[in-house]
Structure 1
Amino acid sequence: MEIVSSAYHVLSASFIFFLGAAISATIGRKFNVSPVKSLGLYGWHTFFSLFYCWYVLRSGGDAIAYFRHGLFWSGEIGVGTSAVRAMAALLVSGIGLSILGTFLVFNIFGQIGLLAFWGSLKEATQDKPWRIRWLATLIIFLPSVSFWTSALGKDAISFMATGLALWSSLNLSRRGLLMAFAIGAMFIVRPHMAGLMVTAIAIAALVDSNASLIKKVLLGIGAAGVAAALVPFALRYAGVGEVVDVESLTEYIDKRQSYNTEGGGGVDIASMSLPLQLFTYLFRPLLFEARSVFGLAAALDNLILLGLFLFGGMALLRGRKTGLGENRVFLWAYALGAWLILSMTTANLGIALRQKWMFAPMLIFLFISVIGRKRSA
């Protein structure tokens, strides 16, 4: 398979690249990121999109399968894999894009999520010492973030949804429509995570001490209604079934834990305790476990995240607060729920490296917002 095979492929890919640059510079302002920084981030993110495209053409991957389904689409429309296949069909068979052009489209989705993530971290660190602000920028430019969110597949869209949900939670009363869009985008590719988002909103509404009783009731009923519709659908999508009890959930977790336990990316998660499962999902591979350049890059990223979580955890234990007005209940409920569920049902470290970015931005925000002292005026 060629990366481009006609002049149209070159022209269309070039157009999408410059369109992405324009979108990045424009949307970046909405997240308080300057056009220059937005374009710099776009260049960085696009580099990983091009590298990922080259890599899958040499070594194979899910993106190749999605592209081929786009060439020979069966007409199936749905959520998850079916949704990505339908989008690929629109781009490949409908518009006639090459695999490079298709990658660049999904690169824009990931870039939007990254800008929203950056804007959220800028809010969290605007009054902090330069070292904390530098750390926030370093996290945005971690290779693993851009690599996994720049390719044809579910991860670019789910990361966009995560970034927008995080940004919306900083002022949920004024960004409710954006939160709804984020949930909708997540539902398209990972409906079970969208159901978890709605559940987290319902929890946040019920425990909000500043909301009136009427507002709590209305928000709670609305969120519970949406959750009641989404969660059963998400459970069926995930393979649990419509009737959920302890036995069926246990069987589902055991089945998921048995997947991909062999090979370079697999770990025997079924034999681990829950704390070790949580640690493995978010922070492995460690430096001494790296067996390749990719593994070393992932381990360095994980080392930075581990340090952030340790210092942030100590700050939380000391009772540090932010005063930013963000909906921390929603962030904690969604992030911890996602971390718990995914760590119990994922055995493959390669999958964990990608999917943890559906909730890691929330945890990063929660921890980085409480470390360091505010600068004096």
Structure 2
Amino acid sequence: MSLIDSPAQLASALLVYLAGLFIALAVGKRLRIPNRRSFLLYVWHSLFCVFYAVYAITNGADALVYYIKAANGEFMLSVGTGAVVSIATLFVTGLNLSFLGACLLFNIFGSIGLLAFDASLRSATADKSRLIRRFATLIVLLPSISFWSGALGKDSLAFMATGLALWAAMNMKRRALLMAGAVMVMLLVRPHIAGTMVIALTGSLVIQKKMPLPQRLLLGGLALGATAAMIPFALNYAGVGEGAGADELVSYVEQRQSVNTQGGSSIDIASMSLPLQLYSYLFRPLPFEATSVFALAASADNMILLFLFIAGGMKMLKRRKHASDSNRAFLWLYSILAWVILSMTTANLGISVRQKWMFAPMLIFLFISLLGKSRQRRQAAAPARKLPPSSGAGAGTRAATVPES
């Protein structure tokens, strides 16, 4: 298989790329991102999409299987792999897309997620120092994010859902429909993670202090009903069974801990404590553990994340409160639940490197918003300095005081 097999497929790939550019600019405008920044982020993300396509052709990947099924016209009314193949089939057969064209199609989904992630971090650091804002941009440009979310597969859609859910959580009252859409997209590819989202939403509504009690009870009841409907579906998708009890869940976790344990990126999580599992899932491999170029690149990302979590964690311990309009209860509940579930059931660091971006953006937002001082706090903390007395007509008057800039 090659990236492009004919001039017609080259034309269709360019058409998809240009359509994605216009979509990215339109989405960026809605997210209040400058057009130049939206353009650069889309180009950056697309470069990694092309790089992934070349890598998949050379080394093999699940994306090739999805493309072959789509090229054969397969259409599956199911979630997970079936949803990815069905979406790809509609465009591959309709537009005669090559493998590169199909990757560029899913690159659009990942780019939307990247723009939403960037808009969220821009909002969290808008009144912070230039250093903090640049650090936020550095995180958005981490290679691991764009590499995996630019692929033909579940990760692009899952990352889009994550980015949109983060943006919606920052103003849940005005973006409730966007949150619902993010949950539905996640349901298409990762039903168990969508169920985790709904559980977190339910918990956040119940403990929301600013909302009137009757409204909390009503929305909490609706969310509980949605949770009750989604959990059996998610358990069936995961292979546990909708009537599973505690013993079945324990057996499932133990079984998952022994899956994908072959290869250099596999680890023995069955013998680890939960804190070590959490650490391994999110922050490994580190540079001294890297055994390949890809592992080394992932370790560089992990070092940045580890620094952010240490710095943000120290700030969080010092501050008792942090005012914000974002629904932090949802962000914390969802992040922790997803982190615990995935870290207990994933024994392969290669899988964790790409799947952690289903919740890591929330944790990054929470921690980076704690770093540095806001512009108002810096001005309030700046010591006053005296102006030198004028040598002109105003000499002898009392010196005025102004804050240091």
Per the TM alignment, residue 95 of structure 1 is displaced from its structure 2 partner at its CA by: 2.7
**1:206 equivalenced with 2:206 (yes/no):** yes
2:270 partner amino acid = A
Per the TM alignment, residue 324 of structure 1 is displaced from its structure 2 partner at its CA by: 2.5
SS at match of 2:375: coil
After superposition, the C-alpha distances for 1:163-196 in whole angstroms (9 at most, x for unaligned) are 0000000000000000010000000001111111
1:241 is matched with 241
**1:76 equivalenced with 2:84 (yes/no):** no
2:186 is matched with 186
Contact 1:320 1:370 in 2 (8 A): no
Aligned length: 377
After superposition, the C-alpha distances for 1:233-267 in whole angstroms (9 at most, x for unaligned) are 00110011111211101100011000111211211
2:362 is matched with 362
After superposition, the C-alpha distances for 1:264-314 in whole angstroms (9 at most, x for unaligned) are 121111111111000000000011001121111100100000000001011
1:49 is matched with 49
Contact 1:321 1:370 in 2 (8 A): no
Per the TM alignment, residue 94 of structure 1 is displaced from its structure 2 partner at its CA by: 3.2
Per the TM alignment, residue 57 of structure 1 is displaced from its structure 2 partner at its CA by: 0.4
RMSD: 1.0
Contact 2:74 2:85 in 1 (8 A): no
Distance 1:73 1:15 in 2: 21
**1:67 equivalenced with 2:67 (yes/no):** yes
Q: TM-score, normalised by structure 2?
A: 0.91
SS at match of 2:184: helix
2:2 is matched with 2
Distance 1:105 1:10 in 2: 13
**1:346 equivalenced with 2:346 (yes/no):** yes
Distance 1:302 1:282 in 2: 7
1:110-121 matches, within 5 Å, as 110-121=110-121
Per the TM alignment, residue 323 of structure 1 is displaced from its structure 2 partner at its CA by: 2.4
1:242-261 matches, within 5 Å, as 242-261=242-261
2:91 partner amino acid = L
Of stretches 206-215 and 92-101 in structure 1, the one that deviates more from structure 2 is 92-101
1:87 is matched with 87
1:301 is matched with 301
1:267 is matched with 267
After superposition, the C-alpha distances for 1:296-346 in whole angstroms (9 at most, x for unaligned) are 110010000000000101111112544231000000000000000000000
**Unaligned 5+ residue runs, structure 1?**
none
2:18 is matched with 18
Contact 2:75 2:85 in 1 (8 A): no
Distance 1:320 1:144 in 2: 33
Per the TM alignment, residue 138 of structure 1 is displaced from its structure 2 partner at its CA by: 0.2
Of stretches 40-49 and 257-266 in structure 1, the one that deviates more from structure 2 is 257-266
Cα pair distance change 1:349/1:168, threshold 3 Å: same
1:292 partner amino acid = S
Contact 1:158 1:185 in 2 (8 A): yes
2:153 is matched with 153
SS at match of 1:211: coil
Contact 2:75 2:86 in 1 (8 A): yes
1:351 partner amino acid = I
Distance 2:11 2:320 in 1: 52
2:101 is matched with 101
Distance 1:212 1:334 in 2: 23
Distance 1:242 1:337 in 2: 19
Contact 1:124 1:324 in 2 (8 A): no
Contact 1:12 1:101 in 2 (8 A): yes
**1:283 equivalenced with 2:283 (yes/no):** yes
Q: TM-score, normalised by structure 1?
A: 0.98
After superposition, the C-alpha distances for 1:92-132 in whole angstroms (9 at most, x for unaligned) are 22332111111001000000000000000011001111111
1:214 partner amino acid = P
2:403 is matched with none
2:28 is matched with 28
Cα pair distance change 1:125/1:322, threshold 3 Å: farther
Distance 2:23 2:213 in 1: 41
Contact 1:73 1:85 in 2 (8 A): no
Q: Runs of at least 4 residues of structure 1 off by over 3 A? A: none
Contact 2:74 2:89 in 1 (8 A): no
